[in-house]
Amino acid sequence: MKRKFLSLLFISFFIIHTIISTLFTPVFALNLNLFEEKTPSGIPFNKMEKVIDEYVSKYIGKTTPGAAIAIVKNGEIVFLKGYGYADLENQIPVDPKLTVFEWASTSKLFTWTSVMQLVESGKLDLDADIKTYLLPEFAEKLNYNQTITMRDIMNHSAGFGNYAFNTIVLSPDKLVSLEEALLRDKPKQYYKVGTASAYSNYSTSLAGYIVQNISQQPFEAYIRENIFNVLSMNNTSSHPTLGDNSKIIEKKAQGYIPSQKGGFKLGNWSYVSHLPAGSINGTAEDFARYAIALTPDFREKSPLFKDTNTLITMLSPSYDINGEMVGTSHGFFEYVGNYRTLGHGGNTAAFSSQFAVVPEERFGIVILTNAYLEMNILFGLQDLLLGKDYSDIKVPNEELPSSKKVTGRYIPVDRQEGNFVAFTEYFNLYTVKATDQNTIMMNIGPYNGTYLQTKPYYYELIDDNIPFFRNMYHVIRFKIENDAVKHVFVGNGVDLSPLPTGRTMPFLISSLIILLVNILFFIIAPAVLIITIIKDKNKGFHQGNKRFNLYFLVLVLLGLVTLTNNLIPTYKIMISSFRTFAEMKPHILLNFPLLIATITVAVLSFISVRKASISRGFKALYLISIVLLISLFSLLFHWNYFFVVG
């Protein structure tokens, strides 16, 4: 009897231990029947962990120090696992339940969710002028000319170009209020509203500000009350400094920047004044709860909405050009897959994230990493779990237009307009080349994707050398007018356009040549002049020569200073996109006195040259310097180095 009792006790203990271990191990499946399921790409659940482990192990320690991955299916978290380190220096491993990551632009999905909650309650109309929801004095300060609706904002089609500064700062003392950020960091509204999809952090911030105005509470408070608390996302915060949930700060991962020599260097945490665009910090487990809320059973309501139709509407196509949907659903981006897939990605100064759901399959994935611009795990793993086989993409029997008609160089519509950063963007263009009658290759720097034409001017991706193309550029459509490409529709905020008038390749090449010649000349000329001045002094030339030589020397030194003054901010923005305009403003403002000083000295030197006794060669050198200075300042004007934009 005693032995039976002990045996029963041992068996009970073993069962309880097994249950507890199952619940609290990093990887778990709460419903054993799910192992009969497959991922949308066809991987059986009983092999899923092995497949994920094998794939992720190729990149942990190489493209990112750590990662947290969550997978949901049928309303349950079926996979939750951490890889690598949250803190390399202290060898702290990633815990998917506790390690806090920056969610970056995947935060935008919560902004769109809050917008749809207000639409459901009748407080917001997606097709009304957004000025309806802004105080008149604030709306007047925004100073944009075209009418914008919330639907335009959610489609990233509100007419705004990009704005390079202040979106992310690297110190909390540089944060400002959401209202101040919107009035300070205004991008140029340069294209017609509704005609293109151009990714806009600014527009998303504006949407969040409208949520704040309508709800009469700070945006981060609205998100916490109406989303985080509803979904029991207790290890998450959208506050710029995590001030509303400070306990999670001690669990936040360190962020890193991959080194070109291998390894990682410690990066900065990011602070976001435009918090609706990318301020959320949280765990993979918490983010998985949001994925579950977006994929309820068709007989159930999402806890985020009172009406099932609201969720259906939010996840339905909203960006429709010429009757053909092109990739955006009320702020959610469409990804390629065997089933319709929706989500978003994001990057901060030292973190990267990817989120996607497949509503039809009630499936979702969360991938969080603590490295800047990690793409292999984010895009590659998503494609592994959700993607489709390209082999079924075929050329139809009908005759299609020659692919040579779409060849050329293109630039994103979300480019910088109205500030000097545009100069750097125009030297990193997208190139499309025809490889045969129905096939093209699109290159972005060293990366490329191969596309097959399946309908007139409609190309589907069939191969690439980085998973980025599968997630962002899986289908591209060329709009043809007068036998030339007018626009390239992609959706997902990444539409492209041909090079605009005044910035075609001949002009871009000319700009680069002018810049290089100026650099070469104004580095060499000061040394030549100093030597000449010393020789003239030894030869005892008259005062006219001395005066001219002095003006000429000052003139070329002004050219050198002007070049240096503008190359510094250009270099800074090229090596790091996370800059404040306050860093750049002194350089822009300095251009004005430099221009005035250059004109003044040029006039004085022109007057004095007539009284000097100089050789024809030296006079030619002087005239060349005048021509180059004129070309340099013209170039600076054209590329907006004189425009104070913030």
pLDDT confidence of residue 138: 94
pLDDT confidence of residue 575: 82
Task: Give the range with max mean pLDDT: 258-262, 465-469, 555-559.
Answer: 555-559
Report which of residues 545 and 397 the model is more confident about: 397
Q: If pLDDT is split at 50, 70 and 90, which confidence band does 7 have? A: very low
Chain segment 488-516, per-residue pLDDT in tens: 999 889 999 999 988 999 999 999 999 99
**Helix, strand, coil fractions of the chain, as percent rounded to 5:** 45, 20, 35
pLDDT confidence of residue 592: 97
pLDDT confidence of residue 224: 97
- Cα→Cα distances 400→286, 409, 462, 540, Å: 48, 22, 17, 79
The pTM is what?
0.89
Stretch 61-78: mean pLDDT, rounded?
97
Q: Which residues pair with 366 in a beta bridge?
A: 70, 355
Rounded CA separation 580/602 (Å) = 34
pLDDT confidence of residue 148: 97
Q: If pLDDT is split at 50, 70 and 90, which confidence band does 608 have? A: confident
Report which DSSP code applies to 100. B
Chain segment 326-357, per-residue pLDDT in tens: 789 999 999 878 899 999 999 999 999 999 99
Please report the DSSP string for 342-383 in residue order: EEEEEE-SS-EEEEEEEGGGTEEEEEEESBTT--HHHHHHHH
Task: Give the range with max mean pLDDT: 163-167, 321-325, 441-445.
Answer: 441-445
Residue 540 has pLDDT above 50, yes or no: no
- Relative to beta strand 320-321, strand 324-325 is antiparallel
Q: If pLDDT is split at 50, 70 and 90, which confidence band does 35 have? A: low
Q: Indicate the CATH number of 101-388 among 3.60.110.10, 3.40.190.10, 3.40.50.2300, 3.40.710.10.
A: 3.40.710.10
Report which of residues 321 and 160 the model is more confident about: 160
Rounded CA separation 441/461 (Å) = 9
Q: Average pLDDT, whole number, for the chain? A: 89
On whether the CB atoms of residues 458 and 474 are closer than 8 A, the answer is no
Q: If pLDDT is split at 50, 70 and 90, which confidence band does 646 have? A: low
Residue 1 has pLDDT above 50, yes or no: no
Residue 26 has pLDDT above 70, yes or no: no
Stretch 194-211: mean pLDDT, rounded?
96
Rounded CA separation 326/333 (Å) = 10
pLDDT confidence of residue 538: 58
pLDDT confidence of residue 367: 98
